[in-house]
Amino acid sequence: MLSVFCTAVALLIYFGLVRTIGSMGVASQSYLRAGVGVVLVLLLLGETISPSAAARLVAAIVGVALINAPSRKVSTKAPVLRPANASSFQAD
């Protein structure tokens, strides 16, 4: 019962996130998993991190931020041309 309940709740959360932040936002969490692990080891166990590992962690965070940043979408559709008296035009 516990495994069925937890799986159902996890799937509800997953599909709720897909609906709100999109598939790319949900998929980008996998890039942050290693970073969260490193930060937890730093905070909880007092380990040290090399400068190159810190740079890679920052690059991953910046990449995820860029992936999930709102983009300015450029419309590739041609503008719809309407007659000058479009307000008086009625379809039959």
Each residue's pLDDT tens digit, 20-58: 888 887 888 788 888 888 889 999 998 999 999 999 999
**Mean pLDDT of the region 8-24:** 87
- Greater confidence (40 vs 92) lies with 40
Which long-range contacts link 79-86 to residues 24+ away (Cβ below 8 Å)?
none
% of the chain beyond a pLDDT of 90:
18
Contacts of 83 (CB under 8 A, 6+ apart): 89
Residue 4: band (very low, low, confident or very high) from pLDDT cuts 50, 70, 90 = confident
At 85 the three-state DSSP class reads: coil
The one-character DSSP state at 54 is: H
Domain ranges across the chain: 23-67
Pick left, alpha or beta for residue 47 (phi over 0 → left; psi -120 to 50 → alpha; otherwise beta).
Answer: beta
pLDDT for res 88 = 56
DSSP per-residue codes, 60-81: HHHHHHHHHSPP-PPP-SPPPP
CA-angle at 22, arms to 71 and 10, nearest 5°: 150
Question: Which residue's structure tokens are 């300015």?
Answer: 72
Q: Is the pLDDT of residue 91 over 60?
A: no
